[in-house]
Amino acid sequence: MIHLHDIRYVRLGTPDLDTAVKYATDLLGLGVARRDGKAVYLRSDSRDHTLCYFEGDPQDHTAAFEVDTAEELDNAAAVLEAKGYKVVRGTAEQAEQRYVREFINFKDPSGNSIDLVHAPHHSGRRYFPSRDAGITGFSHIGLRTLDGRRDEAFWTSLLGAKVSDRIGEAPLLRIDEVHHKIALFPSTYPGVQHINHQVESVDDVMRAYYIMLERNIPIKFGPGRHPTSGAIFLYFEGPDGMIYEYSTGVRLITEEDEKTYRPRAFPAIPSSFCMWGAKPDIPEFKT
């Protein structure tokens, strides 16, 4: 079994790097860690970076997860290869570009590009947002899946994730106490479906709502509250059609909770996504 310590970063290609970075700083509220050639690294917490925009295909997405030791990384490569997955070990130059000591890359059964990294860099300086967004950190991603049940089995049997809840065929998966770090949403093609940042309070969610309205940024869902994780949320559109989410108040499932907790099954209807009645304008959330 491969143990994932935490989610680490997302890498997104874009044909317009300057516009993407302006959005990430002026609207999303991330801080620029550095610009390195044709890539810009952005911070949302104490990590070196949690989002990297680079000049490239806007469908080129990679999500990264951290493992604790070099031995665990080697074991992960062996486990994946034994199950028939092609594993590519990153070169020293590629590791430097990701600000990690070493990493491997593979694709999940739906074709999502995944980095497993060892010894990722932390920043020696505090994170200061480019605007007062209230962000406390990068928290989770939605991934598209071509077969939810198959991919749920992959993430749980090989990568140690646990199912917290399901909405129809969409499993919400945890790798630590947070209700979910990965959500798999049925689609017809792979890629990162949305990127979540936690914010401090409901005030930050609502402040963002009015900022997005004022700046004519499409609101895709919310404000609302998820009946699964209990989080209050807002989804809005970013560069190249990427969906970003702010949320606060996500449920934790502690070690003590694990003794009695059982995943719940929610039907694939709007009220399973929002208990307040908000309707999503996101294809994977529509039924």
- Three-class DSSP category at 176: coil
Q: What is the pLDDT of residue 283?
A: 94
Task: Sketch out the chain's domains with CATH numbers.
Answer: 6-120 (3.10.180.10), 135-285 (3.10.180.10)
**Full strand arrangement of the beta sheet holding 39-43:** 31-36, 39-43, 51-55, 6-14, 61-67, 113-120, 100-107, 88-89
Q: What is the pLDDT of residue 287?
A: 66
Mean pLDDT (10-residue bins), the chain, 287 residues: 95 98 97 94 96 98 98 98 98 97 98 98 88 95 98 97 97 97 98 98 98 98 98 98 98 94 96 97 89
What's the CA gap between 23 and 40, in Å, rounded?
Answer: 12
pTM above 0.95? yes
